[in-house]
Amino acid sequence: MRIELEKRPKVSVLFSIFSPFIALALTLIAGAIMFFLLGKDPGYALYSFFIEPLTEVWSLHELAIKAGPLILIAVGLSVCYRSNNWNIGAEGQFIMGAIAGSILPVVFYEWQSPLVLPLMLLLGMLGGALFAGIPAFLKAHLNTNEILTSLMLVYVAQLFLDWLVRGPWRNPGGLNFPETRTFAADAILPEMVASGRAHWGFAFAIIAAVLIWLMMRFTLKGFEITVLGQSERAGRFAGFSSRKMIWFSMLLSGALAGLAGISEVSGAIQQLRPVISPGYGFTAIIVAFLGRLNPLGIVASGLVLALTYLGGEAAQLSLGVSDKVTRVFQGLLLFFVLSCDTLIHYKIRMVWADLTDTVKDGGAN
């Protein structure tokens, strides 16, 4: 048996809407099988993974806290991927944004002013953007593959943060723990509503998603991004510069990842530690694809992926399975998303081998 693809004469509207849902369903089925193999009751396991975290107010707040950075980063990545720039170093840009934004509350902790927070956010965006500027420069001017450089810089950023919190930025009154001093009150991103912990980072994410959706949908800039992503040559014919687009998309996604980083640190953690991200920068890649690189879709998919983080924690408590299950779920989801996207452009047919060749193949292959 083999599988054959037949190109659809037109892109299937039906499948471009439903393919993420099919992927989700397949992930749930695969997850149920996995729990079954682990000796757990699949129904209960899936319930405690995906439903239970949604039943309480505090956990909804946690959902928003986790979804915020995922959406912010993924929205930026969607612009990169649509324009064919493969920034996979958002994790590093997130960290550098957090570090840059923390300069004020850690180094200049004595300065107290209502300006501190807005400046921190700006510095965070700047830090992320500058760090993304490295692979951007290398690609735009030296023709260096951005996939590898942006990824390598993630490790550099992680080590840099590790050095800071163990070395020069360590809290002098902190019993030698590897962490900075905790942020002062005016350096903390406030909560959105009184009912829980969720901070303004989530609101930033929604605003960014809507703005970028508007840009992609209605403006010439959005058109330029689409054209250059589809064909660099056609973009050149239109007078668009792919070099400028490298800069634009990388700086934009770096700034958003940096904003996510400083929001996380200032809103949720309130100090710097050796590890400040449970892999948001990588998970956001999945968020971007599950949202089909559409900013509004990304809002929904960001919530779904945030749920896998919460579900992993919940499942660990209620089922005693490892929280590594979360990463497996995320990986599976991306696989199914990519598989299901095939349905948008192709009809898939099963062909049963027929062995009636009159003239047999020569042995050449």
Partner 1 sequence: MAVHEQAVDGSLLAVDKLTKVFGTFAACDHIDLAIKPGEIHALLGENGAGKSTLVKMLFGVLAPTSGRILWQGEPVRISSPNAARKLGIGMVFQHFSLFEALTVAENIALSMAPGISLAKISEEAATLSRSYGLPLDPKAHVADLSVGERQRIEIVRALLQNPRLIILDEPTSVLTPQEADRLFDTLAKLKAEGRSVLYISHRLEEVQRICDRATVLRHGKVTGACDPRQETPSSLARMMVGSDVAHVSAEGTSARGDVLLEARHLSAAARTPFAVSLKDVCLKVHGGEVLAIAGVAGNGQSELFDALSGEYPVADANAVQLRQKPVGTLGINARRLMGSGFVPEERHGHAAVSALPLSDNLVLARSVSDRKAFLGGGRLGIIRQDAVKRATKRICEVMDVRKSGEDPPAGSLSGGNLQKFIVGRELDRQPSVLVVNQPTWGVDAGAASRIRQALVDLAKAGSAVLVISQDLDEIFEVATEIAVINEGRLSDAYPAKDLSREKIGLLMGGMQVGKQAESLDAH
Partner 2 sequence: MGIVEAILLTVITAATPLVIAALGELVTERSGVLNLGVEGMMIIGAVCAFVATQQTGSPYIGIIAGTVSGALFSLLFGFLTLTLVANQVATGLALTILGLGVSGMIGEPYSGQSGAKLPQIVFPFLSDIPYLGPLLFKQDLIFYLSIVLIFAVNWFLFKTRTGLMLRSVGDSHSSAHALGINVIRTRYLAVLFGGACAGLAGAQFSLVYTPQWTENMSAGRGWIALALVVFASWRPWRVVIGGYLFGAVSISQLHAQAFGIGIPSQFLSALPYLATVAVLIVISHNRRTTLINTPASLGKSFVPDR
Q: Which of 223, 313, 339, 344 binds partner 1 (CB under 8 A)?
A: 223
Stretch that binds partner 1, among 151-159, 213-221, 243-251, 260-268 (CB under 8 A): 213-221
CA angle 77, 78, 79 (to 5 degrees): 90
Residues 6+ apart with CB under 8 A from 121: 101, 259, 262, 263, 266
Partner residues linked to 2 by β-bridges: 351
Task: Choose the one of partner 1, partner 2, none that binds residue 143, judging by a C-beta under 5 to 8 angstroms depending on kind.
Answer: partner 2
* Separation of alpha carbons 7 and 12, rounded Å: 11
Query: For residues 96 and 261, is the Cβ–Cβ distance under 8 A?
Result: yes
CA dihedral 318, 319, 321, 324 (to 10 degrees): -50
- Which amino acid belongs to residue 187? A
Q: Which of 6, 114, 142, 175 binds partner 1 (CB under 8 A)?
A: 6
Q: Which of 14, 152, 185, 238 binds partner 1 (CB under 8 A)?
A: 238
Q: How far is the CB of 84 from partner 1 (least distance, A)?
A: 13
Binding region for partner 2 (CB under 8 A):
3-7, 86, 88, 138, 142-145, 147-149, 151-153, 155-156, 159-160, 162-163, 166-167, 282, 285-286, 289, 322, 324-332, 334-335, 338-339, 341-342, 346, 348, 364-365
Q: Which of 114, 167, 173, 239 binds partner 1 (CB under 8 A)?
A: 239
* Separation of alpha carbons 92 and 263, rounded Å: 15
Stretch that binds partner 1, among 130-138, 215-223, 284-292, 331-339 (CB under 8 A): 215-223
Look at the block and give the residue holding tokens 């070099």: 243
Q: What is the greatest pairwise CA distance in the chain?
A: 87
Stretch that binds partner 1, among 139-147, 230-238, 285-293, 313-321 (CB under 8 A): 230-238
Q: How far is the CB of 203 from partner 2 (least distance, A)?
A: 28
Question: First CA to last CA across the chain, in angstroms?
Answer: 19
Interaction site with partner 1 (CB under 8 A): 6, 9-11, 218-221, 223, 226-227, 230-231, 233-234, 236-239, 356-365
